[in-house]
């Protein structure tokens, strides 16, 4: 089974997972939005008609691209995907041009505006923006998706529906919509789009699932989720089953940075790249992985920023996306680990080993809870309490990182070659998110910055470039 078939198989269910339902409910607080994007820089403008045909194909192959979300019943059942009876591909693919001179900075500022524009909840949660007018005759494609559709790894699989391995690749044959049987391509009858014939069964299933856990323990955990300041005194009575969950939500203090104390909705995006071979060679020589390399570079950059700003700090708290994907995983398969990383000046090897130890400690614990576990236990909470809890936990984190494996070979979209593919991860209430995506011998990075939390984004960008240069120079 190839990646495309796997993606289609695992995204055709109409029921959102508990984690996906939680991410959708957290949209009530714009600071917690899980919308993410890719900035794909192309060597020339793509053929728009060809791109549109490819997306017509993708929409028929991937049901979530033609569906919107309907909430569950009183938070007892997960949200559901329903067909958009007025689906129009032209509302999801836009075409604009940058004014002269068409700089990278203009493209990044445009991406920030596109990301800040919330999705219409009555429409499918994705948007592509083709951008012409970049210097040197180049173009770009901004791919904006909500996390309920898929995670970063799943997004790479989704992209293979419209990417090619050669510039003039043959287009795929027309295909029936998959995931819904013989009537998949037909619009729903009027008044039936929101119907949920399985709602009663879903309620019964949710209640039956809850009964498998001692009710006293469930009640205590949910009370603790609503009032996390009580956790330190209550963890012993919650039971070992929930030790990992409680460990994740027990941190109730502020983040460690003396500078990045405020949070806002103002965004500033910067991008960068590192040579794949040199970065991996350094990581292997030091006994670790690219994931540790990314976190080491981020910690180095954050430490440099604080030192140059006159507020040196020894450690900051980071969150790191950890893939939990298996052959049977759905569209989203990850959890989040939190760890303290060293930011004081030190040799690269020493910082790498310290970060690697912290990563192993955080991700090797058998008690590290999956996001689905957290979301299932938090599901009955009112949305106001859920968002308050999420913001309280986000306040304990200084920055976030994520590493996504991309293509090792050249790729094309509608006749245009991908030059760089910069991911832009969601902030979720932290000071910045640094995400890495490998592509054709390059490690393309995108840094999404809260420009009120980080008062000098240009300085942080320069610190990131210096940290990348020093790390890759250590390849030997």
**Is the confidence at residue 416, as pLDDT, over 60?**
yes
Q: What is the mean pLDDT of residues 133-137?
A: 97
Q: Which has more confidence, 231 or 307? A: 307
Q: At what angle do helices 276-285 and 457-473 cross, to 10 degrees?
A: 70
What is the C-alpha to C-alpha distance for residues 149 and 126, in angstroms, rounded to an integer?
8
**What are the tens digits of pLDDT across the range 308-347?**
999 999 999 999 877 666 666 566 656 678 899 999 999 9
Buried b (16+ CB within 10 A) or exposed e, 250-260: bbeeebbbebb
Q: Which has more confidence, 175 or 47? A: 47
pTM over 0.75: yes
What are the tokens at 380?
Answer: 């009955």
Lowest mean pLDDT among 3-7, 80-84, 286-290: 3-7
pLDDT band at 372 (very low <50, low <70, confident <90, very high): confident
Residue 130: predicted pLDDT: 98
Backbone torsions φ then ψ of 355, nearest 5 degrees: -65, -40
Residue 153: predicted pLDDT: 64
**What are the tens digits of pLDDT across the range 194-230?**
444 444 444 444 434 433 434 444 454 445 445 555 5
For residues 275 and 443, the answer to whether their CB atoms sit within 8 Å is yes
Strands of 399-404's sheet, edge to edge?
267-275, 442-450, 432-439, 399-404, 315-323, 334-342
* DSSP per residue, 263-310: --S-EEEEEEEEEHHHHHHHHHHTT--HHHHHHHHHHHHHHHHHHHTT
What is the C-alpha to C-alpha distance for residues 459 and 328, in angstroms, rounded to an integer?
43
**Is the confidence at residue 183, as pLDDT, over 50?**
no
**Closest to 455 (Cα-Cα) out of 254, 296, 257:** 257
Residue 472: predicted pLDDT: 95
Calculate the average pLDDT of the chain.
Answer: 82
Residue 446 CA, chain-centre distance (Å), reads 12
Backbone torsions φ then ψ of 203, nearest 5 degrees: -65, -45
**Is the confidence at residue 186, as pLDDT, over 60?**
no
Q: Which has more confidence, 111 or 157? A: 111
Q: What is the mean pLDDT of residues 380-395?
A: 88
Q: Could you tell me which residues are beta bridge partners of residue 335?
A: 322
Residue 323: predicted pLDDT: 63
Q: Could you tell me which residues are beta bridge partners of residue 337?
A: 320
Q: Which has more confidence, 362 or 335? A: 362
């Amino acid at each position: 089974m190839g990646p495309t078939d796997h993606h289609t198989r695992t995204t055709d269910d109409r029921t959102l997972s508990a984690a996906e339902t939680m991410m959708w409910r957290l949209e009530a607080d714009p600071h917690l939005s899980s919308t993410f994007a890719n900035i794909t820089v192309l060597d020339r403008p793509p053929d728009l008609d060809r791109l549109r045909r490819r997306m017509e194909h993708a929409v028929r192959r991937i049901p979530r691209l033609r569906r919107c979300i309907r909430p569950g019943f009183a938070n007892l059942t997960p949200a559901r995907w329903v067909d958009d009876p007025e689906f129009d591909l032209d509302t999801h693919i836009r075409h604009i041009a940058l004014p002269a001179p068409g700089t990278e900075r203009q493209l990044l500022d445009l991406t920030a505006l596109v990301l800040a524009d919330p999705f219409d909840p009555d429409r499918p949660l994705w948007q592509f923006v083709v951008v012409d007018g970049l210097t040197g005759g180049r173009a770009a494609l901004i791919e904006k998706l909500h996390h309920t559709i898929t995670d970063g790894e799943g997004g790479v699989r989704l992209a293979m529906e419209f990417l090619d391995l050669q510039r003039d690749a043959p287009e795929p044959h027309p295909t029936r919509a998959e995931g819904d049987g013989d009537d998949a391509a037909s619009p729903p009858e009027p008044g039936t789009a929101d119907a949920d014939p399985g709602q009663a069964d879903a309620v019964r299933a949710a209640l039956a699932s809850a009964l498998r856990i001692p009710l006293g323990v469930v009640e205590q955990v949910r009370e603790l989720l609503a009032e996390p300041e009580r956790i330190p005194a209550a963890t012993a009575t919650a039971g070992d089953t929930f030790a990992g969950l409680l460990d994740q939500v027990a941190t109730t203090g502020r983040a460690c940075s003396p500078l990045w104390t405020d949070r806002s909705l103002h965004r500033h995006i910067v991008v960068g790249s590192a040579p794949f071979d040199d970065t991996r060679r350094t990581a292997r020589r030091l006994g670790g992985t690219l994931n540790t390399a990314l976190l080491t570079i981020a910690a180095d950059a954050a430490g440099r920023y604080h030192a140059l700003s006159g507020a040196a700090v020894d450690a900051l708290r980071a969150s790191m996306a950890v893939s939990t994907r298996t052959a049977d995983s759905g569209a989203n398969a990850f959890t989040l680990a939190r760890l303290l990383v060293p930011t004081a000046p030190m040799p690269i090897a020493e910082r790498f080993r310290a970060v690697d130890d912290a990563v192993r400690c955080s991700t090797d614990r058998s008690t590290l809870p999956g996001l689905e576990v957290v979301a299932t236990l938090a599901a009955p909470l009112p949305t106001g309490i859920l968002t308050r809890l999420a913001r309280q936990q986000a306040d304990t984190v200084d920055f976030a990182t994520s590493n996504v494996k991309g293509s090792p070979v050249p790729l094309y979209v509608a006749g245009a070659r991908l030059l760089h593919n910069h991911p832009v991860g969601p902030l979720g209430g932290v000071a910045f998110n640094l995400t890495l995506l490998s592509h054709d011998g390059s490690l393309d990075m995108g840094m999404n910055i809260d420009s009120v939390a980080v008062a000098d984004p240009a300085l942080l960008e320069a610190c990131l470039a210096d940290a990348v240069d020093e790390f890759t120079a250590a390849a030997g």
